[in-house]
Structure 1
């Protein structure tokens, strides 16, 4: 439990999500709309329309876990997503960008400096 790290892959669902959804309905979005498998171990991030709540669905040892954050003030700042002819179903994001969203820092205004990245994680 509580097993999210920088070595995980994070996929942001780019459309507003009803925060009343839980394990099965969020898993259905991952499978049917994002075209991915929840059991691959990736983390899937969902944000509501006013950008005040976030849920992360993640398969961990023993089962599915949902992390849920509800802001009492302010909004999450989402990364820019390039919608390609309405076909965008997910946006891969980095752990560092997720941390910035949670901390309330605008990722577009942050300057990323060059760093070494393992060959299988070449996404910056």
Structure 2
């Protein structure tokens, strides 16, 4: 499989994508529509209009991965863009999305993190 480190970003292409596209077609969409580099090591997600199929594109350093998933029941709850043609997800949101969970029905909780130079932890809002 592939490793997903803390620096790995996950981008969702909004709108419908033709699931007949392969390596070259999806690579072109990443460059043109998402304005990103397909060899960056980030994960790029695409879905069809019915939201029952998903394609994931990932470059592991030696080659390009194109993985697909077909939902047997139900549909993916695809995030809507706030601006542009892509949405960035956290690793947790990614896990929920590919598991079929509706992200609009979830909420993130506030969390604590120690800020360097301060004695106590500071309450931060999660992104």
Identify whether the pair has TM-score above 0.5, normalized to the shorter chain.
Answer: yes
Return the alpha-carbon distance in structure 2 between the equivalents of residues 65 and 26 of structure 1.
11
From the two aligned structures, give the one with the greater strand fraction.
2
Larger Rg: 2
- Give the structure-2-normalised TM-score: 0.81
Determine whether 1:93 maps to 2:89: yes
Q: 1:114 to 1:76 in 2, by over 3 A?
A: same
SS of residue matched to 1:67:
strand
Of residues 102-111 and 49-58 in structure 1, the stretch that sits farther from structure 2 once superposed is 102-111
Does structure 2 retain, via aligned residues, the 8 Å contact 1:9–1:92? yes
2:104 equivalent in structure 1? 108
In structure 2, distance between residues paired with 1:79 and 1:112:
15
- Whether the 8 Å contact between 2:77 and 2:101 is mirrored in structure 1 is yes
- d(CA) in 1 for partners of 2:44, 2:55: 8
Runs (4 or more) in structure 1 with deviation over 4 Å come to none
Tell me the equivalent position of 1:72: 72
Structure 2 counterpart SS, 1:57: strand
Alignment of 1:2-41 (within 5 A): 2-5=2-5, 7-41=7-41
